[in-house]
Amino acid sequence: MLFKLQKMGIETSQEQVYTSGMTTAAFLHRQKTKGTAFVIGEGGLPLALQVVGGKEGTLSYEMFEVAHRCIAEGAGLISTKVDTWCPTDEGPRPGCGAIVALLETTSGRTAYHVGKPNPFMMRAALQRMGLSTDQITMIGDTMETDLPGATDPGSQFVLVRIVSTKRTHRADSPCKPTCIVESIAERLPTPAGTR
């Protein structure tokens, strides 16, 4: 995530980034300090979940079988976020919410979503960074999952309009972004000597 932000021209450090994977690791660690996890995920998720142990691999039908059996034997079904799809450079792909929906359907259990839009994520990030809500801005591209996580008093939320946002953003939504931009570049400071 840090590299992705820096590639977009957002100067930041690892200490200023808090992901849904990190949130899930913190949540699981609080629930069961010496617990283990069967991890279905990629990127930074398996690394973040090393705090609770875990097993990872390329997504396969066999992984769903193992996960289903773990749930049937009493394991909890924990999700990092509810997004059913996510954008990539190659186009949209199924997201965590879609994968979890399969396990919810087969097991009859309902997942607990730790990351966005659960306010736990925002509060855990604030605690980790030692900040208050009026000192941060949440930036997201999805009204349904990003905005509800930033609804504490004093929170600021910048909605970046992407194709899906343009389709789904409704003026009558009870939650309102602080501002709406076409590109995150609109919120970046202009380097000295440029316009």
Tens of pLDDT, residues 127-156? 888 888 888 777 777 777 776 666 666 777
Q: Which of 18, 63, 12 is nearest to 44 (CA)?
A: 18
Least confident of 42-51, 71-80, 126-135, 186-195: 186-195
Q: What pLDDT, on the 0 to 100 scale, is given for residue 73?
A: 93
Q: Cβ distance 37 to 49 under 8 Å?
A: yes
| pTM score, whole prediction | 0.72
Q: Cβ distance 122 to 155 under 8 Å?
A: yes
Q: Cβ distance 53 to 36 under 8 Å?
A: yes
Q: E strands along the chain, which residues? A: 78-79, 85-86, 93-94, 112-113, 137-140, 156-160, 179-181
Q: Give the number of other Cβ atoms within 10 Å of residue 81's Cβ.
A: 26
Q: What pLDDT, on the 0 to 100 scale, is given for residue 109?
A: 93
Tens of pLDDT, residues 85-113? 877 778 888 888 888 899 999 999 999 98
Q: What is the CATH number of domain 13-113?
A: 3.40.50.1000
What's the DSSP call for residue 14?
G
Q: What pLDDT, on the 0 to 100 scale, is given for residue 56?
A: 45
Quickly state the pLDDT bin for 74 (edges 50, 70, 90).
very high
Domain ranges of the chain: 13-113, 132-185
Quickly state the pLDDT bin for 37 (edges 50, 70, 90).
confident
Q: What pLDDT, on the 0 to 100 scale, is given for residue 138?
A: 78
More confident residue, 97 or 9: 97
